[in-house]
Amino acid sequence: MNNNNNKNDNRDASQKRRIVRLPRMLPMLLILFLIGSMITSGTFQVTRAVDYSQFLDLLDSGSIAAVEVGASEIGFTLLESADATAINNILSTDGKTITPDAKTVYITGRMDDPGLVDRLRESGIKFTQVVPKNNTLLSIILSLLPFILMIAIYYAFFRMMAKRSGGGDGGILGGIGNVGKSKAKMYSVEEKTGVTFLDVAGQDEAKESLAEMVDYLHQPGKYAKIGAKQPRGALLVGPPGTGKTLLAKAVAGEAGVPFFHLSGSEFVEMFVGVGASRVRDLFQTAAKSAPCIIFIDEIDAIGKKRDTQFGTNDEREQTLNQLLSEMDGFGSNTGILVLAATNRPEVLDPALLRPGRFDRRVIVDRPDLPGRESILKVHAAKVAMEPDVDFHAVALASSGTTGADLANMVNEAALRAVKMGRSTVSQEDLIESVELVIAGKEKKDRVLNEKEKRMVAYHEVGHALVSAKQKHAQPVQKITIIPRTMGSLGYTMSVPEEDRYLLTRGELLGQITMLLGGRAAEQIVFGDVSTGAANDIERATSLARKMVTQYGMSDAFGSMGLESAQNQYLDGRNVSTCSEQTGAQIDNEVRLIIESCQNEAVALLEQNRDALNRISEYLIEKENLTGEQFMSLLEQDAA
Ligand code: ADP
Ligand code: MG
Ligand code: ZN
């Protein structure tokens, strides 16, 4: 809503600008008009250069009407009544005849000729001004023209810049001066966010640590009396979509204070110094409506460590310094609370994190099982649900998702219900939408041929069988060979009975074996392998590598750490901390793990070859298998 208002403001301003522009154009128009009228009114006289000897001949022939002797040249006009043939004899060179007129001014260079004045006296010719002086005014204007043009371009340029940064009106100087001002456009203000802690589900610890700040904003006096200083800021840290923005809004909503929202990347703009002046501007405005909350999203855009190996960015540094000094500057009980969000806390400048600034860190991580269940319920409350929906089951199937994913799932389920012509959302809708969000949309138009379908079926059942038959078994939830848009041709969902935070070496090996089960099945049944295992292989290898480099689970290295994690809240990329030689050894260790797991998978499947065939053929026919169907087929085999 605020954004819309801002847009309207912008439009109003630009209309105003167009109106005031006309009078400013006036001087330019005047100058153009002047030049034009000079040309047409004949201020420009025709001039003609002649030799000094010709001048003397004309003088002797008595054809000259008036003469003006300048410092370096002599101008003269001819008598209209003069003898045309005599003049032509003297002047004409290229056969053109000249009719003497009063308008044409003849010019010749002034020679050192002391007798000239006497001679002119004798002939009785008038000494007057014949060379038009207006010329000089024109030449002044002409020589000024480039400057005028330059100023015009300069002016237009700054107008454009000022406009781009949302800046205001005014002349050339106004344009420059206003670049950094551009108030109210850099952040949005919500007087009432309308969000409360009830809207944020599953982040109990985060809510708890923020509740104290709400209490402070409610009654700062209580804290001031004891002498406790106001908490200045908190940093919300966690992966995208986990509800950081939502939490910040909830704090404002709970405290009933205005919410200033801006993102770090908006701070860093083209003009040097603008970021800093925006910070200043923001804090000034906020101070007027204190108590309030300032929320800086993506603070890593400005708050990066100042001494990076990639060189420095002056603009960003200035902005950061301004932010630091503003945070120090506001008195301890002004009632401004600064919240910031990032998913890369490790790149932040230590100065930002020291006490008195963002000293509190609130971790907003991916929700756990009960968390997911309650997030689903929060969002399900907004749509018409069938009463018997089992949110626990949905939460179980959506391990690893964020709050934003879950909100999306509920919405997708509602869309599906509408598409099916139902008026309420059913369990089936929800489970379908989990798959939709996790595995991508079902792609009905991609049809596998018979051979591909067999291969995919055996591949998926291979995963499922290895998963069910190994020591650290996980129940299979669903097997499907309906292709999805995300690239997988089939899909086996096995769900742990609870969320796991700690995995043992045996369990990790079990996971790798399970991932390699698909490839193993292809190998056993078809004697050939397909490209369908690419993703399995990638995941298995990365698990095995982590076991060696991070979890200390290899025979060769034991508990030696060989990689350190960076960006653990974003993509979890790791940076090697060992020598190249050791790197080669790591590769070898990883290969050993993969090999032994692969052998294990093949062995497991060979032991259960009948089940593999039976279940795969069933799957080829049905395309979908539930966990129960799978288990009953498996047990039937054992009997
Ligand atoms: P972030 O700022 O961490 O990237 P957001 O706060 O913008 O994530 O979350 C995006 C959306 O996801 C929210 O508007 C909300 O609908 C939903 N969401 C995320 N986390 C939660 C949660 N814990 N409880 C309820 N809804 C959530
Ligand atoms: Mg956000
Ligand atoms: Zn697979």
Higher confidence at residue 496 or residue 545?
545
Q: Looking at the CA of 238, name the nearest ligand.
A: 1
DSSP three-state, residue 106: strand
- The runs of H, that is alpha helices, within 42-115 are 52-61, 84-91
Q: Which of 242, 365, 368, 410 to mutate to test the pocket of ligand 1 (most atoms within 8 A of CB)?
A: 242
Distance 104 CA to ligand 1 centre (A): 87
Could you list which residues have their CB under 5 Å from ion ligand 3? 518, 536
Phi and psi dihedrals of 630, rounded to 5? -60, -50
Residue nearest ligand 1's atom 25 by CA: 200
Higher confidence at residue 25 or residue 429?
429
**Residue count (the chain):** 639
> Ligand 1 in contact with 244 (CB < 6 A)?
yes
Distance 545 CA to ligand 1 centre (A): 33
Are the CB atoms for 550 and 635 separated by under 8 Å?
A: no
d(CA 59, CA 87): 10
> Ligand 1 in contact with 401 (CB < 6 A)?
no
Cα 488 vs. chain centroid, distance in angstroms?
A: 30
Q: Looking at the CA of 242, name the nearest ligand.
A: 1
> Ligand 1 in contact with 200 (CB < 6 A)?
yes
Instruction: Classify burial at 409, counting beta carbons within 10 Å of its beta carbon; exposed 0-12, middle 13-18, buried 19 or more.
Output: buried
- pLDDT greater than 80 at residue 31: no
> Ligand 1 in contact with 220 (CB < 6 A)?
no
H or E segment at 237? strand 233-237
Distance 198 CA to ligand 1 centre (A): 13
Across 47-51, 175-179, 444-448, 485-489, least confident range = 175-179
pTM for the whole structure: 0.58
Stretch 106-122: mean pLDDT = 80
Higher confidence at residue 489 or residue 584?
584
Q: pLDDT band at 10, cuts 50/70/90?
A: very low
d(CA 118, CA 620): 126
Higher confidence at residue 91 or residue 628?
628
Cis check for the bond before 291: say yes or no (omega within 30 of 0). yes
Stretch 275-298: mean pLDDT = 82
Q: Which residue has the tokens 């200035």?
A: 318
Are the CB atoms for 349 and 304 separated by under 8 Å?
A: yes
Q: pLDDT band at 18, cuts 50/70/90?
A: very low
- Both structure tokens of 254: 């709970």
Measured CA to CA in angstroms, residue 22 lies from 17, 28, 145, 178, 306 at distances of: 9, 11, 20, 21, 48
d(CA 566, CA 564): 7
Picking from 406, 313, 351, 369, the residue whose alpha carbon sits closest to that of residue 501 is 369
- pLDDT greater than 80 at residue 536: yes
Bridge partners of 235, per DSSP, are 340, 361
Of the ranges 1-10, 169-178, 497-506, which is most confident? Answer: 497-506
| pLDDT at site 599 | 96
> Ligand 1 in contact with 201 (CB < 6 A)?
yes
Catalytic residues: 460
Instruction: Classify burial at 71, counting beta carbons within 10 Å of its beta carbon; exposed 0-12, middle 13-18, buried 19 or more.
Output: exposed
| pLDDT at site 537 | 94
- pLDDT greater than 80 at residue 238: yes
Q: pLDDT band at 95, cuts 50/70/90?
A: low
Q: Looking at the CA of 193, name the nearest ligand.
A: 1
Stretch 559-583: mean pLDDT = 76
pLDDT digits (tens, 9 = 90+) for 179-193: 444 444 556 777 777
Phi and psi dihedrals of 465, rounded to 5? -65, -45
| pLDDT at site 179 | 43
d(CA 556, CA 587): 11
Picking from 130, 77, 123, 120, the residue whose alpha carbon sits closest to that of residue 100 is 77
Residue nearest ligand 1's atom 18 by CA: 403
Distance 320 CA to ligand 2 centre (A): 20
Backbone CA torsion sign across 537, 539, 541, 543: negative
Are the CB atoms for 367 and 241 separated by under 8 Å?
A: no
